[in-house]
Structure 1
């Protein structure tokens, strides 16, 4: 298989794989920054740690330079918000989106399923991306309003109590 064919098949494979959705937010010198991520994963329970990867964008660079950030796990009611933070030029951190500021200064989504405040432990450059492994310092649990997953370039919602069988 050629490198191009492997790359194309790799993209297709992960487009077919549904993942949870989060908005990673931080306070940069110029104000709040954030981006939508579908790469968040639990790494360790003791100590609590998670990972995510980001491409080399302005928002990602600001998050990587911040001393701390919040991984806001999204629920069914956040599909539009996830789409806004996934696209350049869309509204971000508006009052009607439900943003607040944590006591430690990071932007936090008050209605998130959970908000995990962390600090970077390891930054691992891989190609055009950076994998972040972070220690979780605080976990705030919000309402569980169903599921939001990302699959095949689409945000899909499942209300609480609905199960595929």
Structure 2
């Protein structure tokens, strides 16, 4: 059943995001495709993190996070931040701290900076819900994830 479930879910097209936060003075981030809009009033978003993730404690301790929605030309960043063995992800990409002191990747499609409002245990993952406190959008096209590949959103 799990194999079929994975086949179904990888055939469901999604965007690709890297969620970031600060762990004391060190940036932390990972690639996710579980990002979703939750509410317009107030502006709420959600994403999921595996309970076995090495980044879990940083996101658990932090009260803010940023969702960096990748642009079409950020395939390298997608896979760097998805690699659980990669220990120095931020040295391999361009980033800066936002006014809210969150690590923001450069040249992304969009960024949503959030204040964490809730964590929910859900099976082998934790669902994090955040209230959008700031957002930025560029003219880049977003990246698409489909059947374990990344591509450009078609015109």
Listed as ranges, the gaps of 5+ residues in structure 2 are: none
Q: Give 1:74's aligned residue.
A: 70
Matched, 1:118 2:114: yes
Q: Give 1:92's aligned residue.
A: 89
Over 6 Å off, 4+ runs: none
Report the Cα offset of residue 48 of structure 1: 0.6
Report the Cα offset of residue 30 of structure 1: 5.6
Matched, 1:46 2:24: no
TM-score normalised by the chain length of structure 1: 0.85
Query: Aligned residues, how many?
Result: 153
Considering only CA atoms, is the larger Rg found in Structure 1 or Structure 2? 1
Matched, 1:102 2:87: no
Report the Cα offset of residue 132 of structure 1: 1.2
What does residue range 1-165 of structure 1 map to in structure 2 within 5 Å? 5=1, 7-29=2-24, 31-56=26-51, 57-90=53-86, 91-94=88-91, 97-142=93-138, 144-158=139-153, 162-163=154-155
TM-score normalised by the chain length of structure 2: 0.90
Rounded to whole Å, the distance in 1 between the matches of 2:93 and 2:129 is 28
